[in-house]
Structure 1
């Protein structure tokens, strides 16, 4: 009986899918959403519509993960066109001068359990680079039911002070604290998945 269990365990390990790979973010299922407080009355939100990047991830060794993300700041969308135009100007993001934001991980640590990580990385925004810690939830890792490609999905959140990146217009009436909520779906490219 013990031999059968040992053999079954060994076979399971040999035939289990390996998901150590470089994943590419799916822009259609990746969102970077930010929210703020407006004069104490409301908590609006917006998002960046153009996000790209890669993730090196091994489900068996998640703390060895590396992530690089590029954000087209000009793709900002709050569903209020006049506000989008204002946010792109020098009062806030100054998109003409700083069209891109990037995040590059520098350290990944285990979280509260096997489904959580703390990812530290450098956020470059508005000409300033500072560290940010993301609280990450591993949603799912496995073959995608539609594409059949190895895929991985994550949620992350953090709170940053925008003034630390030189975007301090109208603080404190418009909150310095910005809540970030990120959801990511990523897959291994077809040629890499073979």
Structure 2
């Protein structure tokens, strides 16, 4: 438990082949089902303060209360995902904390010296997220995600689907 951010709610893995990654997690590790979005539509996305037209696919599943996110960037637009891959890495890139007081926690993190690496919004004002540029060693980028709107309800749906999952219908595309 982080004294600043609360419980870690998600581990985010940046991968080069999201289909192979979903297959591995579902078949080898038995984690699923995966809710897959081929092309994520962001309201906006900024990398280091500048607009970026990042294109990405994501997949979400839960292992208990911990959500696993797989991310494959589909273009060469600036992002922390691209920086991670360009450094020769693939795998755990961030851990996320969820909040219903996004602005308050975001402002507190900034006041403590955290810097935003990239940020965006999905599905309206209650779908904001920020990745703080705090990586001191691999896999410790911190994401802060607003779950006070529809995203929070969707995340709960993903968690519920994982409870007692029998292995059937392992990949569930979301339009």
Q: What TM-score, normalized by structure 1, do the two folds share? A: 0.30
Higher RCO (C-alpha 8 Å, min separation 6): 2
TM-score, normalized by length of structure 2? 0.32
Larger Rg: 1
